[in-house]
Amino acid sequence: MKSSRATAFWALIILAALVAPGLAQVVDDFNRTSLGSNWTADPEYIISSNTLDNSTTATGWTFLAVYNAAANPSQVQFTWAGSANANGINAGGFAMLLDAASVTANGLLIFRRDLTLEINPIVNGNVDRTIPVATAAASLPAPGPGSVIKIGFRTDATKAYFDYYINGTLDGTLSYLRSSRPAIPSTYYAGVSLYGNMQNNIDDFTVWAQGITVTSPNGGENWLARSIHAITWSSNSFSGNVAIDYSLDAGSTWTVITASTANTGSYTWTLPATPSTSARVRVRDAADGNPADISNANFTIAPETESITVLSPNGGENWEVNASHNITWSAAASIPAVRIYYSADNGANWTMIVASTTNDGSYTWTTPSVTTTRGLIRIADAADGLPLDESDAPFSILTLATLYVRETSGQPGSTNNLVAIGLDNITPVRGISFLLMDSPAYLTAMNVLPTGRASDFTVTKTDNGTAVSILLVSLAGNSIPAGSGPICLISYDVSGAAPLGEFSSLDFSTVKVSDDSSRAIVPELLPGRFWFVKIGDMDNSGVVDLLDINRAADIVLGREPAATDNEMMIGDLDHDGDIDLFDLLTIWELVY
């Protein structure tokens, strides 16, 4: 009959199993007459009074018992039986990292000897006490009959660790360099090694087995090449990221599907185009490959019986935003309708264009108002998603022209403050017209001058007090070539009532842009601001003085710190995009 303490122990274990099923498993209480098939042990190990006993009368560390029903344990625990004595408890411990469920396995013995925790190698089932792998000082009183001993196993990139607990309290940690020992087996077992002819019976052997189990594809499935399926798996006492591989030759060689993904139990996989009747999937710890599991048997990747081929866009095209383009493809006549998607991020995410359209080889698509250089098109059978095809390489969705205001500044009551209007275009532009509104209306446009690539254009302007209307055309029929930079400069007078430190917004309206074929272009518009500042007052002190001259000189000479945005607004007096010698001399004249 077990003691009340043992009864309480079992009650706690059962409660833990109910609270967290699958994380802890009591694997043997030895309440029977024979050892059974879950153990691979030297014949001297027997069941005695519901405990595991090494019954030999011979002394030595040559007796091994391996629990074969759970692989890759992360924690192992037993209780020293009531019949164990101090000498026996000093002469028994856990057999860990055993490379086989065999009495001649290789691994490590972890045990406590008096006040020292030790690791010794197990070679062909025998403990070699002459070679200490690692030692550590114990911190707790010696265990006795009824003490619960637990080992926790963990690793990092360089070391393996064994945490030794007595009755739930850490007694010490043993570790060794992984480079100094044989590699940790991909499948390993735990058990016990009890020195012969000692009173060192154990009870309640418990394993927390860390593991991964592939559940699909696990053998026998018939999946179509390039189809999309979920790889699924379950994890036991393991929560780290996993790597996933596939094999087309029953596991002889492997190809990585993902080097690291969250351990969610499911991963969406697009199968390869290569058929195979010997395919398998492997899921493994992304850090070091252990634990791991492989499909129990081969599954089939069947060749595609029908096909779809994306023709356009198939890579390298430059398509305009918000414009009509034809998506084209070829497909088997047996496919009545197709579904079309696009991706703006090279296939990481997909957006449906149309759920079903006739398989006639062409679909007119209005591109979205999203610019990208990583666009892809996917076309699939509308019925079940197979077969499918994607663009061979990314294409671009681009804005053909961007019209923008370069921010600048001026002093209330000042004149001839230049605001640059810029154009970035990837196609030639024949003509541009727009309204540029300033709000609040403290600005008056006095002149508009063409510049840069539009320097030979004719400009007309009208200012109604709140907006200036501008038209740029070439009387010679020329175009603004592809490129970037200012195309005209607006000379503004600033009302003396403009408040210092505030700004007027400069916003586009009624914009018309045409290319050299007189085709309308929808440009991207980037408005700007005109700041009201005291010209030359670099430090915002309210006066322009020697300190402002010194700061402007530092900027001109390239001394740190570089000019701030605010200093650029105040000190760029000629509005050419930098603070230079002209600006420095102008500030000098303001002071002197």
Q: What is the CATH number of the domain that holds 112?
A: 2.60.120.560
Rounded CA gap, 547 and 271, in Å? 69
- The verdict on 414 and 370 lying in the same domain is no
pLDDT of amino acid 25:
59
User: Do 189 and 48 belong to one domain?
Assistant: yes
d(CA 469, CA 260): 57
Torsion angles phi and psi, residue 366, rounded to 5 = -90, 115
Do 121 and 185 belong together in one domain? yes
Question: Residues 61, 143: one domain?
Answer: yes
Can you give the residue range of the structural domain that contains 20? 4-209
Q: Are residue 217 and residue 204 in the same domain, yes or no?
A: no
| Cα–Cα distance measured from residue 405 to residue 376, given in angstroms and rounded to the nearest whole number | 33
Q: In the structure encoding, which two tokens stand for residue 189, read together?
A: 């077992």
pLDDT tier, 460 (very low <50, low <70, confident <90, very high otherwise): very high
Q: b/e string for 254-280 if b means 16 or more Cβ within 10 A? A: beebeeebebeeebebebeeeebeebb
User: What is the number of residues in the chain?
Assistant: 592
The pLDDT of residue 18 is: 30
CA-CA distance, 122 to 126, in Å (whole number)? Answer: 5
pLDDT in tens, 47-80: 999 999 999 999 999 999 999 988 888 899 999 9
Give residue-wise pLDDT tens across range 96-144. Answer: 999 999 999 999 999 999 999 999 999 999 999 999 999 999 999 999 9
Count CA atoms within 13 Å of residue 248 on its CB side. 12
Taking each continuous run of H as one helix and of E as one strand, the counts in the chain are 5, 46
CB 138 within 8 A of CB 171: yes
Distance CA 425, CA 92 (A): 80
Residues 521, 481 within the same domain: yes
Q: Where a domain ends, among 209, 231, 252?
A: 209
Q: Helix 546-556 crosses helix 581-591 at what angle (to 10 degrees)? A: 170
- For residue 277, being part of any structural domain is answered with yes
242 and 138 within one domain: no
Q: Which of 263, 285, 302 represents a domain boundary (last residue)?
A: 302
Instruction: Determine the Cα–Cα distance for residues 241 and 4; give it in Å rounded to an integer.
Output: 42
Q: Are residues 171 and 269 in the same domain?
A: no
Whether 540 is in a domain gets the answer no
At 155, list the tokens: 């690793």
Evaluate whether residue 538 is within a structural domain.
no
pTM across the whole model: 0.43
Domain of 266: which CATH number? 2.60.40
CA 212, distance to chain mean position in Å, is 22
Residues paired with 354 in a beta bridge: 340
Q: pLDDT tens across 161-194, in order?
A: 999 999 999 999 999 999 999 999 988 999 999 9
- Which of 19, 16, 39, 15 has the alpha carbon at shortest distance from 28? 39
Please give the tally of structural domains in the chain: 5
pLDDT exceeds 60 at position 3: no
Q: Is the pLDDT of residue 41 over 90?
A: yes
Does 539 fall in a domain? no
Residue bearing the bigger pLDDT, 403 or 288 = 403
CATH number of the structural domain spanning residue 376: 2.60.40.2950
Say if residue 561 is preceded by a cis peptide, omega within 30 of 0: yes
pLDDT digits (tens, 9 = 90+) for 192-235: 999 999 999 999 999 987 778 899 999 999 988 878 889 999 88
Chain segment 463-516, per-residue pLDDT in tens: 887 899 999 999 888 999 999 899 999 999 999 999 988 999 999 999 999 998
Same domain as 222, residue 191? no
Token look-up 């699939």 returns 380
Residues 14 and 149 in one domain: yes
Q: Are residues 161 and 195 in the same domain?
A: yes
Over residues 318-351, the pLDDT tens digits come to 898 888 999 999 888 788 999 999 999 999 999 9
Burial class (CB in 10 A: 0-12, 13-18, 19+), 379: buried
Which pLDDT belongs to residue 1?
32
Structural domain includes residue 494: yes
In a domain, 35, yes or no: yes
Contact criterion met (CB below 8 Å) for 353 and 281: no
CB 243 within 8 A of CB 259: yes
- Regarding whether 320 and 275 lie in a shared domain, the answer is no
pLDDT tops 60 at residue 568: yes
Burial of 501 (C-beta count, 10 Å sphere; 0-12/13-18/19+)? exposed
Calpha distance 230→265 (Å, rounded): 10
Domain termination site, one of 482, 498, 532: 532
The answer to whether residue 405 scores a pLDDT higher than 60 is yes
Instruction: Answer whether residue 541 is part of any domain.
Output: no
**Sign for the pseudo-dihedral over CA of 123, 127, 128, 134:** positive
For residue 311, what are the contacts with CB-CB under 8 A and spacing of at least 6? Answer: 328, 329, 330, 361
User: Which residue is associated with the tokens 């006993």?
Assistant: 53
Identify whether 584 is part of a domain. yes
